[in-house]
Amino acid sequence: MQLEIITPEKKIYSGDVTAVNLPGSDGSFGLLENHAPIISTLKVGTIKVFEKDNSEKSFDVKGGVIEMNNNKIIVLAE
């Protein structure tokens, strides 16, 4: 699935991933391929990205919004 993480300044990540863990406003949650469409707000925390080559990346955020639809995830982060 495709992930983009965008801040007001620039796009900080774009790539194919196998899973993403996000700091949702009502609690942390994860997304896997073929997840149902979802829109959620984010709180202060860390986004963990699991890439197809089994590597992991982390991005600290102060909040934001996430949308997933048709295996494409867009995160608008602060």
Task: Indicate which CATH number applies to the domain containing 15.
Answer: 2.60.15.10
- Per the structure, the complete domain to which residue 28 belongs is given by 2-77
Question: Do residues 29 and 41 make contact, with C-beta atoms less than 8 angstroms apart?
Answer: no
Domain count, the chain: 1
**Structure confidence by residue, pLDDT tens digits, 25-57:** 999 999 999 999 999 999 999 999 999 999 999
pTM for the model: 0.92
Rounded to an integer, what distance in angstroms lies between the CA atom of residue 34 and that of residue 59?
A: 23
- The token duo for 43 is 């709180």
Question: Do residues 56 and 50 make contact, with C-beta atoms less than 8 angstroms apart?
Answer: yes
User: What confidence score (pLDDT) does residue 16 get?
Assistant: 95
Of 43, 47, 46, give the one whose Cα is nearest residue 19. 47
